[in-house]
Amino acid sequence: MKTKREASLLLALLPILILIALLTFNVLLFEDTLSGANQIALMLAAAVAGVIAIQLGLGWDGIKKKIVSTIGSAMPSILILLLIGSLAGTWLISGVVPAMIYYGLDIISPRLFLFTAVIVSAVVSVATGSSWSTIATIGVALLGIGQAIGINEAIVAGAIISGAYFGDKMSPLSDTTNLAPAMAGTDLFTHIRYMVYTTVPTLVITLIIFLIIGFRYDFSNATVDVANVKTAIEGTFSVNPLLFLVPVLLLAVIIMKVPPLPALLIGTLLGGIFAIIFQPDVIRQIAGDIENYSTASYFSVMKAMFGDVSLVTPDENVNELLSTSGMRGMLDTVWLILSAMVFGGVMESAGLLKRITQPIIKYAKTSGSLVASTVGTCIFFNTTASDQYIALVVPGRMFRKAYEDQGLKPEVLSRTLEDSGTITSVLIPWNTCGATQSKVLGVDTWAYAPYAFFNIISPFMTVLFAYLNIKIRRFAKGEKPEEQTSEE
């Protein structure tokens, strides 16, 4: 059902302006804006958008239908997020994450740590096709190592996210890497090969920046002694190389193209089984007065999957690394995602998002301005609709004909969508990606965003290539869109 009238540009912008004002007040007044303040801001802004939609002639049933549809599109992400919480719990009590930290402290040089974190995260993410899984597993361990050697957690998180989103963007197993070419009208491997031109220079610049930070970092102020960390881990867990079978098996399952939900559930259950086999002392510490080991095992694994677990060691700094909130810890983020989807759904139902972007397309007359407009639109949708899939799908639909009219091949559009829609989603605190990674890593989005150099540089790189006309593919004279090939 469509609205009877089209909103003016000012009216379409009103809910967004109100949302920006509310979010600004929240940052100023609340220490933790993700525990409710931002959720309410999104709902209030959605209410304003709803009033506008009704004034434009859209009935409540039409608004509700779009809200439900938008929430439904985010439901896979919500379920994955909940399972990540459970996986983090069982991987902690099984000793998997502590073992990664323990051995990582031996093999990773502090000066090269940030550089290594980007590379490791990128490799794992390319192999799995998932930045979410990479950050929730390898990323959590890398963050613990970084904290142990005294590097600011926001910088470490920026390195992890930079590497993870390289893989999310370039892996043929990634959902966004498949979605972008589908929206633009090209094939997967043409899309991936074409992204290399902008992605590799961006990654190289990112690695150089992290190398410089690593070699200039002052480790003398580190509050954590590495030897104490290792001693504390050894005193609490049975550190065994066999524990690495859990991430290896999960990686194998993902490479076999098992869908994310069952793959994460398998990883969670493997963590629980390994906890029972290898960590009887941890099981008993969590279970407390429960004497029967079978009962204690059930209790401890179940608690790790759904609730708070904090393991006690002689080192208070290590205790911070050895705590998790399981599935329950993800509920604030789920609430935020639901609120964001309500706002995005109402805005889309009334055609307000489309109305805002119409003038952008109208004035994009050159290849450079068209690519820049696409980048701006993707970031706009990441900020307002709060979901990276919407930030790929809607601009993809909107700009496809404009690219064809300028004689640009569809891979130019698909690359632009990924360089801006996929990559910037994690920089927005109320976006599904930004909210999730902040919760998983325990680092505020605003804190790590300035250090997510790969994500910051990517949209600028794609615009630069367009304005300088570097590797911008065009149709040959007389060639039609359906006749193109995947060759350079």
Whether pLDDT at 453 is above 60: yes
Distances in Å between the alpha carbon of 470 and those of 156, 166, 277, 474, 486? 33, 21, 57, 12, 18
pLDDT tens, residue by residue, 371-429: 999 999 899 888 877 778 778 877 887 788 788 888 888 899 999 999 998 899 999 98
484 has pLDDT over 70: no
pLDDT of residue 22: 86
How many beta carbons lie within 10 A of that of residue 73, not counting itself?
16
Burial class (CB in 10 A: 0-12, 13-18, 19+), 71: middle
Give the Cβ contact number of residue 281 at 10 Å.
13
- What proportion of the chain, given as a percentage, has pLDDT over 70? 93
Predicted local confidence at residue 481, as pLDDT:
61
**329-to-86, 87, 304, 375, 438 alpha-carbon distances in Å:** 9, 12, 11, 33, 12
Determine the average pLDDT of the residues in 12-30.
83
The DSSP secondary-structure symbol of 66 reads H
Mean pLDDT of the 301-318 span = 84
Q: What is the DSSP string of 246-296?
A: HHHHHHHHHHTT--HHHHHHHHHHHHHHHHHHH-HHHHHHHHTT---HHHH
pTM for this one? Answer: 0.72
- Rounded distance, CA 436 to CA 81, Å? 7
Q: Domain segments of the chain: what residues? A: 9-75+340-480, 76-329
Q: Residue 2: pLDDT band by 50, 70, 90 thresholds?
A: low
- pLDDT for the residue 380: 85
Comparing CA positions, the residue from 46, 68, 56 lying closest to residue 6 is 56
